[in-house]
Structure 1
Amino acid sequence: MMPYASPTVAALSDQDPRELGQYRIAGRLGSGGMGSVYLAEGPTGLVAIKVIKPHLAHDPEFPHRFRREVAAARKVSRWCTAPVLDAQLEDAPLWLVTEYVPGPDLGRHVKEHGPLTGAAAEALAVGVAVALAAIHQAGIVHRDLKPGNVLLSPFGPRVIDFGISRALDTEQTTRSGQMLGTPGYMAPELFSGQVEPAADIFAWGCVVGAATSTTAPGRSPFAADNMMHAFHRVMREEPDLDGVEPAVRELVRAALARDPAARPTAEELVAELSGPDTGVAEVARTLRLRVGYGATVALPPPPAAAPGRRLRDLATGVGAGVVAVGLVAAAVAGLRALPPAPPEPTETLYTDGFADDTSGWNNSGFTSPTTSRGYTGEGRYTMAEDISNDVQWSTAPVNAVLPDQALVSVKMDLSQSAGGWNGVFCEYSKTDSDKDDLAYILEVSQAGFAKIVKVAATKWSDLTPDLRVPGFDRKNMLLRAECARGNGEVRVALWLGDELVAEQVDHDVSTATGPPRFGFYMEGVNNSQSRVYYDDFAINRLP
């Protein structure tokens, strides 16, 4: 396993904004020639905001070019990029909002953990090629593809900073005659001002070569210290491909041809890596690059964390506060074709529509839409944050022996949730009072994110980062969770509707010795009066 932290978030200075429109600024992710990039929270969750430097915003030509590039970027498919969500294009300060991508950049990962090899190298190569195909299909040339602009997200490589930099590049060239790009990743034609998609293919070869080389990890095949050195190398020398992953080496060589016309297109790269009959869109939907990733960044001010608690403590109301989580990295690498829908069950073992308030669930003493945990009397079950405990859970009252391979489903309504995480759990504790509790919580936030958490005794660990849920509808949500134990591992997967949003295989399961139990989990935030409703709960046997 290779755990690593999320992108570094620097504290805000007195000169940094605290709010931009409907976004609350949390910290600074970085800065460059065009401006500063901030981590922020908006109506749909975490986002990244690029704020343009004031002198550019006041330039008579720059705002026009910036608006043009934002419009072009909005046309780029979401495949393997950070899509544009919002922008302020008229009044200063100019800013651009994109989806926040959790995970480190490729350069940082290679520096800290070494090169990508085998299936992971191929997944990186095809993932970046897919992103370039989407960018080029929108009529944009990236022009500064490099490891720092490739983020390793939970759903594969994401290429960032495409196209938008063109506005700055034009301004820089006109005023100072500066050469554009990053030494070591620039195609020969860029030195003469020729900007075509083929230049991005050359950069693709440099990025894949740098990321997969076992002899010079992190170094471009045309590594250079400055523009003059870079010019000399790409014009006169051959690329250094020693140690580059053999499965991609010849494609890298083809991408580094001096003649732009001799290089493959992005679509041709995808076809070579994935098969001639595989389309770019199909690859984009199924690609996963698992090289390890950590928890996402929490927004300040952080809530006070309670001491570590066992799942059993929640049933008795011991302790209050927000669960402290740690980091657990994924250990799977490479391409994986994901199922389009949850697996088909072979038998329904238990169902409850909650019309009968004597069916055995914890009812907190009375039936009411305002009960802290129990039946609403209106055909639903509810759990809510109360003054003594901001975490609630309830185990399904099943008398039968449940299988090790099960699919749990429930309809959830988060319209009255004010924060926190809510969902279902799978538990494998030996007894109700065993100190080595082991459980997995498959949960969704009111802001539209999902994740999987492992609970082992007093340790709570995020098995995945916060993953954005496509088409999120907090009032009408069908949650399905697969929990499968066997062969020394536990596999957990989470679907919302028919969309797979999170999955994990855990091999550290020595304490998973008890019978399976399933139920609901609900978490509030700082006495926020959060409430969640559940309906049509079912446990199904899987083959």
Structure 2
Amino acid sequence: MPLASPTVVALSDQDPRELGQYRVAGRLGSGGMGSVYLAEGPTGLVAIKVIKPHLAHDPEFLRRFRQEVAAARKVSRWCTAPVLDGQLAETPLWVVTEYVPGLDLGRHVKEHGPLTGAAGEALAVGVAVALSAIHQAGIVHRDLKPGNVLLSPFGPRVIDFGISRALDTEQATRSGQMLGTPGYMAPELFSGQVEQAADIFAWGCVVAAATSTTTPGRSPFAADNMMQAFHRVMQEEPDLNGVEPTLRELVRAALARDPAARPTAEELVSQLSGPGTTVAEVARTLRLGVGYGPAMAPPPPAARPAWRLRDLAIGAGAGVAAVGLVTGVVAGLRALPPSPPEGTETLYDETFSSDDSGWDNSGLTSPTTERGYTGQGRYTMAEDYSNTIQWSTAPVNAVLPDRSLVSVKMDLSQAVASWNGVFCEYSKTDDAKDDLIYMLQVSSDGKSKITKVAGTVWEDLTPDLTIPPFDQKAPVQVRAECVREGDEVRVALWLGDELVAEHVDQGVTTAAGRPRFGLYMSAGKDSKSRVSYDDFTIARLS
């Protein structure tokens, strides 16, 4: 079976070469919360997650991060990627987990089809074993999905069972936002009830998606947004016709709407492996047999060309034993450059030096207009008595590429309690019911987030993330990376040279319209908030 291409990239001058007793070989991924590195330690290959300094100095984040790491270290290594080490008392903060080679389950099914027969049963048992270990440590995973199951040479490994929510949980509590992936969320999660039985429901969805021969890769409650997910789990019965026959009834039991009616993780293991079989016994003998094994070695570290990691054959692909330092990524970590991306060709360039270039001009050209040109070489939008949300689409007649970089200089010196930034749009028509828009935003009080509009449903794809301090009195460079590939949309937001938010949205069947880009702001009523923009460009990404 073919393997995925390596995702390990060479270290830049800003990357560490050593972290404690670990030698760093390459970068596996970067995101709004930190970077993930491949390294070698006394026991072999590991993945090290390094937290960004500005988060490490946030007392509330630090408290939750230490709490989540302590809980994660109690989880048995049965079918998980265990936490091995960490530096939690001084900066930089970092955590070491086992490195897991292999594809994530979602990608495997997409590229190679469903797991059937013994492989499907081994997957079901392995994920149940992992949930047993997680639950025994008193943890609720809360986001079990195919992207959080890695198919290693030694069986399935469940990842991301706690540490990634050191920040997310706090933000969700403040905003009332639900955490989870539509299509894999148990009914009770929609009312704020978080118990271990919710992970059993997700287990049923994952096993069904992985083994179904009629709808491979799709949850029995597949949904594009939270509203649709809520309706399906509350009103509809799961279609399990294509699910592996030996697993179907157990999956049906796991999908019971009543949490008390679902089996426990230990009961799943017993029913799948036979009465009297312990979880530990199953964990020691489990193999998937999907064929993942050694692949290419990562690039050698620039400062240490001779040490033996150069010659190691390691598993490659999206299967990093990550604990969620890349915010919101659904299908595992992807390698990002150490600096903002550069466009290969500028397709549209607007300096706003003239007020007849086609941008929406709702009033007279003036520095105080509600939405329009300032007459001073800038464009402005403001909250007024009737509009707390403002949009303006770049008047581009050409068909823009699916891989685009949108850049603008944004002046927040008059911004008050507002969210400001750019948007990427892929709506099929101009009818509101077909809206598909991603807003990449920075707040006037030092936060960032990505919000999705699908039809009439607004959904925050990331929590409100604390960003590095910046001079609010001076224009700041904002870059939005917007990439559409098939039914997947990837968006990333850069502020200056910092990547402050990113998300990969999968299964977006409605992303069918031609790309459009523009400016966005929202503010509280009577805030009198205003934002100004200059040097707006759209460039092609390679």
**SS across alignment from 1:246:** coil
Q: 1:44 is matched with which residue?
A: 43
User: Could you tell me whether the CA contact under 8 Å between 1:12 and 1:28 is conserved in 2?
Assistant: yes
Please state how far the C-alpha of 1:72 moved relative to its aligned partner: 1.4
Q: 1:142 is matched with which residue?
A: 141
- For residues 30-54 of structure 1, give each alpha carbon's deviation from its aligned partner in whole angstroms, at most 9, with x where no partner exists: 3556433222222322101122244
Mapped to 2, the partners of 1:32 and 1:241 lie a distance apart of 37
**SS across alignment from 2:246:** helix
Mapped to 2, the partners of 1:324 and 1:160 lie a distance apart of 24
Q: 1:8 is matched with which residue?
A: 7
Please state how far the C-alpha of 1:92 moved relative to its aligned partner: 2.5
User: Could you tell me whether the CA contact under 8 Å between 1:27 and 1:38 is conserved in 2?
Assistant: yes
Q: 1:228 is matched with which residue?
A: 227
Please state how far the C-alpha of 1:123 moved relative to its aligned partner: 0.3
CA 1:73–1:172 in structure 2 vs 1: closer, same or farther (change >3 Å)? same
Q: 1:413 is matched with which residue?
A: none
Aligned pairs for 1:132-171 (under 5 A) are 132-171=131-170
Mapped to 2, the partners of 1:323 and 1:210 lie a distance apart of 37
User: Could you tell me whether the CA contact under 8 Å between 2:10 and 2:299 is conserved in 1?
Assistant: no
Provide the alpha-carbon RMSD of the alignment.
2.5
Aligned pairs for 1:260-275 (under 5 A) are 260-275=259-274
The answer to which structure, 1 or 2, has the higher relative contact order (CA under 8 A, 6+ apart) is 2
Aligned pairs for 1:82-481 (under 5 A) are 82-301=81-300
- For residues 95-140 of structure 1, give each alpha carbon's deviation from its aligned partner in whole angstroms, at most 9, with x where no partner exists: 1100111111111111111000011000000000001001101111
Mapped to 1, the partners of 2:314 and 2:127 lie a distance apart of 30
Q: Radius of gyration: which is bigger? A: 1
**SS across alignment from 1:145:** coil
Please state how far the C-alpha of 1:69 moved relative to its aligned partner: 1.6
Please state how far the C-alpha of 1:151 moved relative to its aligned partner: 0.9
Aligned pairs for 1:487-506 (under 5 A) are none
User: Could you tell me whether the CA contact under 8 Å between 2:153 and 2:293 is conserved in 1?
Assistant: no
Amino acid at match of 1:287: L
TM-score of the pair, normalised by structure 1: 0.53
User: Could you tell me whether the CA contact under 8 Å between 1:52 and 1:95 is conserved in 2?
Assistant: yes
Amino acid at match of 1:35: G
User: Could you tell me whether the CA contact under 8 Å between 1:7 and 1:29 is conserved in 2?
Assistant: no
The number of equivalent residue pairs is 309
Mapped to 2, the partners of 1:324 and 1:173 lie a distance apart of 41
CA 1:226–1:56 in structure 2 vs 1: closer, same or farther (change >3 Å)? farther
User: Could you tell me whether the CA contact under 8 Å between 2:120 and 2:211 is conserved in 1?
Assistant: yes
Q: 1:365 is matched with which residue?
A: none
Mapped to 2, the partners of 1:15 and 1:231 lie a distance apart of 44
Please state how far the C-alpha of 1:254 moved relative to its aligned partner: 0.9
Mapped to 2, the partners of 1:78 and 1:6 lie a distance apart of 27
Mapped to 1, the partners of 2:202 and 2:15 lie a distance apart of 33
Amino acid at match of 2:86: A
Unaligned regions of 5+ residues in structure 1, if any?
A: 304-321, 328-543
Q: 1:25 is matched with which residue?
A: 24
User: Could you tell me whether the CA contact under 8 Å between 1:6 and 1:104 is conserved in 2?
Assistant: no
Amino acid at match of 2:69: V
**SS across alignment from 1:283:** helix
Mapped to 2, the partners of 1:208 and 1:293 lie a distance apart of 20
Mapped to 1, the partners of 2:117 and 2:277 lie a distance apart of 21
Deviates more, 1:50-59 or 1:82-91: 50-59
User: Could you tell me whether the CA contact under 8 Å between 2:10 and 2:26 is conserved in 1?
Assistant: yes
**SS across alignment from 1:247:** coil
Please state how far the C-alpha of 1:271 moved relative to its aligned partner: 0.7
1:61 maps to 2:73: no
Please state how far the C-alpha of 1:73 moved relative to its aligned partner: 1.3
Aligned pairs for 1:71-82 (under 5 A) are 71-82=70-81
CA 1:6–1:45 in structure 2 vs 1: closer, same or farther (change >3 Å)? farther
User: Could you tell me whether the CA contact under 8 Å between 2:297 and 2:312 is conserved in 1?
Assistant: no
CA 1:234–1:56 in structure 2 vs 1: closer, same or farther (change >3 Å)? farther
Mapped to 2, the partners of 1:324 and 1:20 lie a distance apart of 20
- For residues 295-347 of structure 1, give each alpha carbon's deviation from its aligned partner in whole angstroms, at most 9, with x where no partner exists: 145243289xxxxxxxxxxxxxxxxxx989899xxxxxxxxxxxxxxxxxxxx
TM-score of the pair, normalised by structure 2: 0.54
CA 1:18–1:291 in structure 2 vs 1: closer, same or farther (change >3 Å)? same
User: Could you tell me whether the CA contact under 8 Å between 2:296 and 2:314 is conserved in 1?
Assistant: no
CA 1:178–1:26 in structure 2 vs 1: closer, same or farther (change >3 Å)? farther
Deviates more, 1:22-31 or 1:119-128: 22-31
User: Could you tell me whether the CA contact under 8 Å between 2:9 and 2:298 is conserved in 1?
Assistant: no
Please state how far the C-alpha of 1:292 moved relative to its aligned partner: 0.8
User: Could you tell me whether the CA contact under 8 Å between 2:8 and 2:298 is conserved in 1?
Assistant: no
Q: 1:495 is matched with which residue?
A: none
Indicate the percent of aligned positions where both proteins have the same amino acid. Answer: 87
